A and B are shown apart, each in its own frame.
Chain A
Amino acid sequence: MTEFQTLEHVNVPPAQTWNYLHTNVIAMKVPAPDQVRAEYMEQTSPAVTCFAACPASIDAVEQLPEELLAIETGVGDDANEWIAASATETTLVNVPAGTNLERPIVVDLSGDGVAVAHTGVSIGKGARATIVVIASASHKVETVSASLLRVLIEEDAHADIFELVAMGNPKQHIEGVGIECRKDASVNIQQYALSAQTSAVGLAANLVGDRSSLTLSLHYLVGSQQTLDCNHIVRQRGRNTRCVIDESGVLSDKATKTLKATIDLIRGCKGSKGREQETVVLAGDDVVNKTLPVILCDEEEVQGDHGATIGSMSAEQLQYLRNRGLTEEQAEDLFRHAVADGAVIHAPTPKARKVALQAVAQIFGKDIAEDLAEIVQPSFGFDE
């Protein structure tokens, strides 16, 4: 019999607000770490892989190095500890300085059982790397998966991170990411949350180096009775750092989505700029949208902006599309298709593309997925 525990404080933002709004945290009911490890042992393939001729080293380690472990993640201590205790394997990837990693590092959680991955990636000075995290499963088994990824990006280095959550209805997923950018380092993150019964996606970035930068885009589709809880935290510490966050998505049916996005302009980050914008399309009578966009600032010479637009399509937009023969449902579908199509278009590996297309098939139907596969050519030039 499965023994469960509840992680009471997942996705905790740095600045909280009225508790009666039920925005500050999400609780996740998960199996005890012992049971997760026992089930995960039955999996045959490792969670973390890299393609052939990869110059990066991938090692199973007892524990990540201190400088990686110290990196804050967006999901918080409760989830960090549970993932660290549940993962049977902790993986450390080192990308040597000056390397341009042509093929991605992949964290693949696509089994039908419980899959928990704990990964650290260190990208050396001047190196470039792409990291892909895929969470998917077949739609028959009720399960939970989790990934905890910490990335250290050294001076002048760059990382592209692509995350795809396409778990299907009976599944729970926890995805924690922590990033630290040193001087002149940069990171570009694309997150696609297409389906899961309940998912907590938390990302924290520490722009500690001068002129370090982050761009983050989150695209989500939340339907049925699904719940998506996102927590983005960007700490701008270095001088002249830059942060641009764009979040957008569509809620339908009885979906619930909570987004917490925090830009923290910390004393000393002179000349830094942070911007965050969310656009939410409400496409269901019973949807719940919660948004908490926060700017924390104790530095004078900075600029912080955030904005949010929440609602259905405007009358003008609808009229424009009606004039072109679309019904209201079809017009809303355009927004939903845009999110799912983006996951297919930007998928950086064959597996990511396959999972994205499976999600499209599940949400919109097999024909549409096949059409999309035909129209959208892969953005990568290699096979697995």
Chain B
Amino acid sequence: MSKTKVQDVDRSMYDFIKPEEGYERFEDGLTPEIVRAISEKKDEPDWMLELRLKGLKKYHEMSMPANWGPSIEGLDMDHISTYVSPKTEQASSWDDVPEDVKDTFEKLGIPEAERSYLAGVGAQYDSELVYHSMQDSAAKQGVVYSGIEEALHGPFEDMIREHFMKLVPITDHKFAALHAAVWSGGSFVYVPEGVQMEYPLQSYFRLNAKGAGQFEHTLIIVEPGANLHFIEGCSAPKYNVANLHAGCVELFVGKGARLRYSTIENWSKNMYNLNTKRSRIEEDGVMEWVSGSFGSHVSYLYPTTILAGDRSSCEFTGITFAGKTQNLDTGCKVILNGKDTKASVSTKSLSKDGGISTFRSSIVVNKHAENALATVSCQSLMIDDISRSDTIPAMDVRCQSASVGHEATIGSISDDTVFYLMSRGCSEDEARTMVVNGFANPISKELPLEYAAEMNNLIKLEMEGAIG
């Protein structure tokens, strides 16, 4: 049977460039002066500047691991600007956002999504938040959703100081240290005890500038018994030079609270995505990750869950689609510390057109995690014979009463399946797309309808092509 010749995704929806005229752009590279200038621009407390400078020192001291992970040789920090900003203040009405920036987010469908089904939206353009708004009903319940820098200057400064880069210490890895040094933008969410958020909050990160980095910091605190769904979206136009995303997400889920964190990552294929996400879950808390990785040239992305409290649990549902020129090293980490904790990991990955997809995970069950239960399932689909798919799951179990199960499969679309569907009237293209959609369906059904549609559309675009 002939093979599907897969075309590149049509990224016109994401791949448009706005001129940088009039923007403020710091010189490329990393120096203490640049770090001080970022801090000064934000009029930060002294402790934050100290943290930034420590981060910079650590960044220079640390190296990337030599024995695992994709190469980042093409990333030269001497040619990356760590701060680029349109000259505008953060607005709470789209009418107050500069026309070219507003046009960008309209093309991405953000204002429409806000009107339709979101309780609040934050929009970041390059290094700064340009828009932030939340429905009054959420504010009345005491929910705080603001820019993190804005929150640093208000009554939440002490809370931010208590939590900022505590889950992800600056010594965690080289790019966590870099993040500490040059972070800019991002969101702060505080959901008071017992508050149930009916609609999700969304932050969207757009990196428009060429040869720049985006380093937003997201800090979410969900107090006991509260419930939140947070959606993160990101995209960038494609350039012929490297761009960098080294954001950081820290999530604190209180006793009996629930947090769902959904991401559709669709960076352009010149992006190095070295992002760090981590959550800590207290007693009876629930953490749910839904993660779709479609873009970027190189990704290192492993959302981490620390099940600290007894009976806390987490689910990780993820899909990675690696196409031409992409090397996506994705997966997750779960650390089970509490008694009767539960973790469930289910991932899918697809590789085509020379793309490399690596599923990497670690499940660590510590000694006192009595009766902990963890299951990991990863399935990989090879769509052609020039691509690559690896699974590298690690398990470290130190508790006798724990139970850990793991299963993984790698395979291709069987000719029998395609033939069966073709005998019922599908073209070969349709048949293969149908199989891939079916493969991804368990992930897309976890997303809100509009995002599932976007994900299915991305898959369809990736799979569209002629029979060769």
Query: How many angstroms between the C-alpha atoms of A18 and B64 in the bound complex?
Result: 11
8 A Cβ contacts from A254-296 to B: 265, 267, 280, 282-296
Stretch of B101-109, B238-246, B385-393 with 4 or more beta carbons under 8 angstroms from chain A: B385-393
Query: How many angstroms between the C-alpha atoms of A294 and B397 in the bound complex?
Result: 17
- Chain B residues, Cβ within 8 Å of A24: 67-68
Interface string of B354-389 (1 = CB under 8 A from A): 000000101010010000000000001011110111
Question: Quick check: is B400 within 8 A (CB to CB) of the other chain?
Answer: yes
Q: Out of B387, B396, B398, B409, which one reaches A21, CB within 8 Å?
A: B396
Contact status of A295 and B408, CB under 8 A, knowing A282-B402, A289-B396: yes
Q: Out of A285, A292, A300, which one reaches B382, CB within 8 Å?
A: A300
Shortest C-beta distance, A361 to chain B (Å), equals: 27
How many B residues face the partner with a CB closer than 8 A?
A: 38
Question: Quick check: is A132 within 8 A (CB to CB) of the other chain?
Answer: no
Q: Out of A19, A306, A311, A314, which one reaches B407, CB within 8 Å?
A: A306
Main secondary structure of the interface of B (DSSP, over half): strand
Interface string of A14-26 (1 = CB under 8 A from B): 0111110101100
Question: Quick check: is A301 within 8 A (CB to CB) of the other chain?
Answer: yes
How many A residues face the partner with a CB closer than 8 A?
A: 43
Question: Quick check: is B154 within 8 A (CB to CB) of the other chain?
Answer: no
8 A Cβ contacts from B329-372 to A: 360, 362, 364, 367
A283 in contact with B410 (CB, 8 Å): no
Shortest C-beta distance, A272 to chain B (Å), equals: 11
B380 in contact with A310 (CB, 8 Å): no
- Chain B residues, Cβ within 8 Å of A294: 390-393
Q: Out of B65, B360, B391, which one reaches A295, CB within 8 Å?
A: B391
B409 in contact with A282 (CB, 8 Å): no
Contact status of A303 and B410, CB under 8 A, knowing A24-B67, A297-B382, A298-B388: yes
Q: Out of B394, B409, B411, B412, which one reaches A23, CB within 8 Å?
A: B394
Query: How many angstroms between the C-alpha atoms of A23 and B394 in the bound complex?
Result: 8
Closest residue on chain B to residue A274 by CB atoms: B410
Shortest C-beta distance, A375 to chain B (Å), equals: 31
Interface string of B55-66 (1 = CB under 8 A from A): 000000000010
8 A Cβ contacts from B387-437 to A: 387-412
Question: Quick check: is A326 within 8 A (CB to CB) of the other chain?
Answer: no
- Chain A residues, Cβ within 8 Å of B387: 298, 300
Question: Quick check: is A309 within 8 A (CB to CB) of the other chain?
Answer: yes
Contact status of A17 and B362, CB under 8 A, knowing A290-B395, A306-B407: yes
Q: Out of B68, B397, B405, which one reaches A15, CB within 8 Å?
A: B68
- Chain A residues, Cβ within 8 Å of B394: 17-18, 21, 23, 290-292
Shortest C-beta distance, A243 to chain B (Å), equals: 13
Shortest C-beta distance, B451 to chain A (Å), equals: 29
B380 in contact with A297 (CB, 8 Å): yes
A15 in contact with B407 (CB, 8 Å): no
Question: Quick check: is A248 within 8 A (CB to CB) of the other chain?
Answer: no
Query: How many angstroms between the C-alpha atoms of A303 and B409 in the bound complex?
Result: 7
Interface string of A154-189 (1 = CB under 8 A from B): 000000000000000000000000000000000000
Query: How many angstroms between the C-alpha atoms of A86 and B360 in the bound complex?
Result: 38
Query: How many angstroms between the C-alpha atoms of A265 and B387 in the bound complex?
Result: 12
Query: How many angstroms between the C-alpha atoms of A267 and B385 in the bound complex?
Result: 7
B410 in contact with A297 (CB, 8 Å): yes
Shortest C-beta distance, A203 to chain B (Å), equals: 19
Closest residue on chain A to residue B399 by CB atoms: A282
Contact status of A284 and B400, CB under 8 A, knowing A16-B68, A19-B67, A308-B405: yes
- Chain B residues, Cβ within 8 Å of A302: 382, 410-412
Contact status of A295 and B412, CB under 8 A, knowing A284-B400, A310-B397: no
- Chain A residues, Cβ within 8 Å of B384: 300
Shortest C-beta distance, A247 to chain B (Å), equals: 13
A308 in contact with B406 (CB, 8 Å): yes
Q: Out of B68, B388, B389, B395, which one reaches A18, CB within 8 Å?
A: B68
Shortest C-beta distance, B255 to chain A (Å), equals: 27
Shortest C-beta distance, B337 to chain A (Å), equals: 16
Question: Quick check: is A312 within 8 A (CB to CB) of the other chain?
Answer: yes
- Chain B residues, Cβ within 8 Å of A299: 382, 385
A282 in contact with B67 (CB, 8 Å): no
A16 in contact with B412 (CB, 8 Å): no
B403 in contact with A310 (CB, 8 Å): yes
Query: How many angstroms between the C-alpha atoms of A280 and B364 in the bound complex?
Result: 15
Query: How many angstroms between the C-alpha atoms of A308 and B383 in the bound complex?
Result: 26
Contact status of A289 and B410, CB under 8 A, knowing A16-B67, A24-B67, A300-B382: no
Closest residue on chain A to residue B331 by CB atoms: A17
Query: How many angstroms between the C-alpha atoms of A297 and B385 in the bound complex?
Result: 10
Question: Quick check: is A39 within 8 A (CB to CB) of the other chain?
Answer: no
Shortest C-beta distance, A191 to chain B (Å), equals: 21
Interface string of A52-87 (1 = CB under 8 A from B): 000000000000000000000000000000000000
Question: Quick check: is A305 within 8 A (CB to CB) of the other chain?
Answer: yes
Question: Quick check: is A31 within 8 A (CB to CB) of the other chain?
Answer: no
Query: How many angstroms between the C-alpha atoms of A310 and B394 in the bound complex?
Result: 12
A309 in contact with B405 (CB, 8 Å): yes
B398 in contact with A287 (CB, 8 Å): yes
Query: How many angstroms between the C-alpha atoms of A306 and B408 in the bound complex?
Result: 5
A15 in contact with B390 (CB, 8 Å): yes
Q: Out of B380, B388, B404, B412, which one reaches A308, CB within 8 Å?
A: B404
Closest residue on chain B to residue A301 by CB atoms: B412
Most buried by A among B395, B398, B402, B411: B395
Contact status of A304 and B409, CB under 8 A, knowing A15-B68, A17-B362, A297-B382: yes
Closest residue on chain B to residue A256 by CB atoms: B398
A297 in contact with B404 (CB, 8 Å): no
Question: Quick check: is A307 within 8 A (CB to CB) of the other chain?
Answer: yes
Q: Out of B402, B407, B412, which one reaches A310, CB within 8 Å?
A: B402
Shortest C-beta distance, B373 to chain A (Å), equals: 9
Closest residue on chain A to residue B358 by CB atoms: A15
A283 in contact with B400 (CB, 8 Å): yes
A293 in contact with B393 (CB, 8 Å): yes
B400 in contact with A290 (CB, 8 Å): no
Query: How many angstroms between the C-alpha atoms of A285 and B366 in the bound complex?
Result: 11
Q: Out of A267, A284, A291, A305, which one reaches B408, CB within 8 Å?
A: A305
Contact status of A287 and B408, CB under 8 A, knowing A297-B388, A300-B385: no
Contact status of A293 and B408, CB under 8 A, knowing A15-B68, A18-B68, A24-B67: yes
Most buried by B among A17, A296, A303, A304: A17
A310 in contact with B395 (CB, 8 Å): yes
Closest residue on chain A to residue B405 by CB atoms: A309
A292 in contact with B393 (CB, 8 Å): yes
- Chain A residues, Cβ within 8 Å of B388: 296-298
- Chain B residues, Cβ within 8 Å of A285: 367, 400
A17-B362, A303-B411, A309-B405 given; name 7 further pairs at CB < 8 Å: A283-B400, A302-B382, A304-B409, A306-B408, A307-B407, A308-B407, A312-B400
User: A residues within 8 Å of B by Cβ?
Assistant: 15-19, 21, 23-24, 265, 267, 280, 282-312, 314
The 7 closest A-B pairs by CB, nearest first: A311-B403, A300-B385, A304-B410, A298-B388, A308-B406, A310-B404, A16-B68
17 contacts between A and B (CB under 8 A): A17-B360, A280-B397, A284-B400, A289-B397, A291-B395, A293-B408, A294-B393, A295-B390, A295-B408, A297-B382, A300-B382, A300-B387, A303-B409, A305-B407, A305-B410, A309-B403, A310-B395
